[in-house]
Structure 1
């Protein structure tokens, strides 16, 4: 039995996607001067497809913890962009990364507002409309 509706689960996956994308963008920005570094991106479609097949979502924060069957779900959504912008083989375009960073922040805020609204509605129902 699912405690939450599919919309909350989908919003949760959207927040996970946005958090992962934030990490990837930050990694790209940190490696802007690294020779032969290939910029990475995240595919929401791959993340959503891989999460639908797994019921339990978990992330191991320490290598000593027990492994989970879907631990590689997030890493399977990351891919490298093949183009090269700089003479040193680096493919990080700072203008694109900063633009992606801003749009990802807007996306994250929108998803957080939506899921907050869902929980607020549940809270109203639990309290009996008070």
Structure 2
């Protein structure tokens, strides 16, 4: 494992990718606020990341000793990817649309704050590496 390919850097990078994708999905929801029968979307990532980080979340850890074995639980961080999920269960407007503009704008602002926090974490991570390399 290299200095730049640490677990922390991988988690921050994947979280930044998920936040960027969430911004695109929320912007799409906002753009389609008046489209009849449009169903809002969001991404599923935070719970998968949290369950990967919690060792106790999966009480049984399966071991794959043959290519045809079915793996139990998440064994690799590369398996955790942000996924776009459509929300079909609700109808908010009379035209069949379920986008609430106030909720979407709030989520967009929260996502922007999270994105900025992730950028600060990445900058801090690489500043520590720069200091270690520079000997300061």
1:10 partnered with 2:11? yes
TM-score (norm 1): 0.76
Match of 2:108 among 101, 109, 115: 101
Match of 1:117 among 115, 118, 124: 124
Match of 2:77 among 36, 52, 55: 52
- Which runs of structure 1 show a deviation greater than 6 angstroms over 4 or more consecutive aligned residues? none
Tell me by how many angstroms 1:37 deviates: 0.4
Q: Deviations over 1:35-89 (max 9, x none)?
A: 10000011114764787245xxxxxxxxxxxxxxxxxx54xx1111121101110
Alignment of 1:24-35 (within 5 A): 24-35=25-36
Unaligned runs of 5+ in 1: 55-72
The 2-side partners of 1:126 and 1:100 are apart by 39
State the structure with more CA Rg: 2
- Matched positions, count: 110
Name the Cα RMSD after superposition. 2.1
Report the secondary structure of 1:35's partner residue.
Answer: coil
TM-score (norm 2): 0.73
Report the secondary structure of 1:42's partner residue.
Answer: strand
